[in-house]
Structure 1
Amino acid sequence: VAPWYGVAFSVLLYLSIGPLFATPRTATVSFEIGVVPFLGDVSESAKQISLAVFAAVFFGLSYWLSISPGKLVDRIGKILTPALLLAIAVLVLTAAAKPMGALQTPAEAYQAGAFTKGIIEGYGTMDALASLVFAIIVIDAIRSMGVTDTKHVLSLTTRAGLVAAGCLALVYIFIAYMGATSVAGLGMQENGASVLSKSAEFYFGLGGKVLLAVIVLLACLSTSVGLITACGEYFNRLMPQLSYHKWVVIFTLVSFGFANFGLKEIIKLSIPALMLLYPLTMAIIILAFLHPLFGGKRVVYITTMLATGVMALFDGWKTFESFMEMKSGFVSNLDNFFSANLPLYGSGLGWLLPAVVGFALGFAISKLAK
Structure 2
Amino acid sequence: MKKIGDIATIGFALFAMFFGAGNLLLPPFIGIQVGSHVWITILAFGLTGILLPFLGILAVTRSGETFNDLGNRVNKNLASLLGAIIMICIGPLIALPRTAATTYEVGILPSFPTSNPLWTSLVFFIVVWLFAIVPSKVVDLVGNVLTPFLLIILTILVVAGIVHPTGSPSAAALSSTESFLLGFTEGYQTLDVLASVIFASIIIAATRAKGYHSIPEKNAVVIAAGVLAATCLLFIYGGLIYLGATAGIQDTSVKRSELLIHISNSVLGKYGSLAIALSIALACLTTAIALAAAVGTFFSRLTRGKLGYKLLVTLTCLISAVLSITGVDNIIQFAYPPLAFVYPIVITLVLYVVFFGRLVTWKSPYIAALIASTIVATCNVLHILGLLAPKQVAVLNKIPFFSYELGWVIPSLLAFCITWGVGWIRNKPARA
- TM class by shorter chain equals 0.7 to 0.9
1:286 aligned partner: 351
Matched, 1:357 2:414: yes
How far off its partner does 1:183 sit? 4.2
Counterpart contact for 1:235–1:247, Cα < 8 Å: yes
Matched, 1:242 2:307: yes
Q: 1:200-349 counterparts in 2 under 5 A?
A: 200-239=264-303, 240-319=305-384, 321=385, 326-329=386-389, 332-339=390-397, 341-349=398-406
Counterpart contact for 1:279–1:308, Cα < 8 Å: yes
Distance in 1 of aligned mates of 2:318 and 2:275: 29
Distance in 1 of aligned mates of 2:267 and 2:182: 30
How far off its partner does 1:310 sit? 0.9
SS state of the match for residue 38, structure 1? coil
2:58 aligned partner: none
Change (3 A) 1:283 1:73: closer
Matched, 1:36 2:100: no
Change (3 A) 1:69 1:161: closer
How far off its partner does 1:250 sit? 2.4
How far off its partner does 1:111 sit? 7.9
Q: Which amino acid aligns with 1:263?
A: V
Match for 1:79 among 111, 130, 145? 145
Q: Which amino acid aligns with 1:300?
A: P
Distance in 1 of aligned mates of 2:261 and 2:125: 22
Q: Which amino acid aligns with 1:225?
A: I
- Per-residue displacement from partner, 1:83-135 (whole Å, max 9, x unpaired)? 22222121122222222233345577x88633333333224422111111112
The total of aligned residue pairs comes to 353
Counterpart contact for 1:307–1:354, Cα < 8 Å: yes
SS state of the match for residue 361, structure 2? coil
Change (3 A) 1:178 1:18: same
Counterpart contact for 2:199–2:290, Cα < 8 Å: no
2:99 aligned partner: 26
TM-score by length of 1: 0.85
Counterpart contact for 1:142–1:153, Cα < 8 Å: yes
1:59 aligned partner: 125
Distance in 1 of aligned mates of 2:215 and 2:333: 41
TM-score by length of 2: 0.74
Range with greater deviation from structure 2 (179-188 or 75-84)? 179-188
- Per-residue displacement from partner, 1:243-265 (whole Å, max 9, x unpaired)? 33332232112212332232233
Counterpart contact for 1:66–1:248, Cα < 8 Å: yes
Computed over aligned residues only, the root mean square deviation of the Cα atoms, in angstroms, reads 2.7
Change (3 A) 1:163 1:369: farther
1:93 aligned partner: 159
Change (3 A) 1:141 1:76: closer
Q: 1:131-142 counterparts in 2 under 5 A?
A: 131-142=196-207
Moved over 6 A (4+): none
Counterpart contact for 2:147–2:286, Cα < 8 Å: no
How far off its partner does 1:66 sit? 3.1
SS state of the match for residue 247, structure 2? helix
Distance in 1 of aligned mates of 2:231 and 2:350: 18
How far off its partner does 1:230 sit? 1.6
Counterpart contact for 2:344–2:408, Cα < 8 Å: yes
How far off its partner does 1:282 sit? 1.4
Change (3 A) 1:173 1:218: closer
Distance in 1 of aligned mates of 2:159 and 2:252: 20
Q: Which amino acid aligns with 1:199?
A: I
Counterpart contact for 1:56–1:256, Cα < 8 Å: yes
How far off its partner does 1:187 sit? 8.2
Q: Which amino acid aligns with 2:413?
A: V
Q: Which amino acid aligns with 1:157?
A: V
SS state of the match for residue 294, structure 1? coil
Counterpart contact for 1:277–1:312, Cα < 8 Å: yes
Among all aligned residue pairs of Structure 1 and Structure 2, give the percentage whose two residues are the same amino acid: 27
Q: Which amino acid aligns with 1:261?
A: T
Q: Which amino acid aligns with 1:238?
A: L
How far off its partner does 1:334 sit? 2.5
Counterpart contact for 2:296–2:313, Cα < 8 Å: yes
Unaligned runs of 5+ in 2: 1-73, 428-432
Matched, 1:10 2:56: no
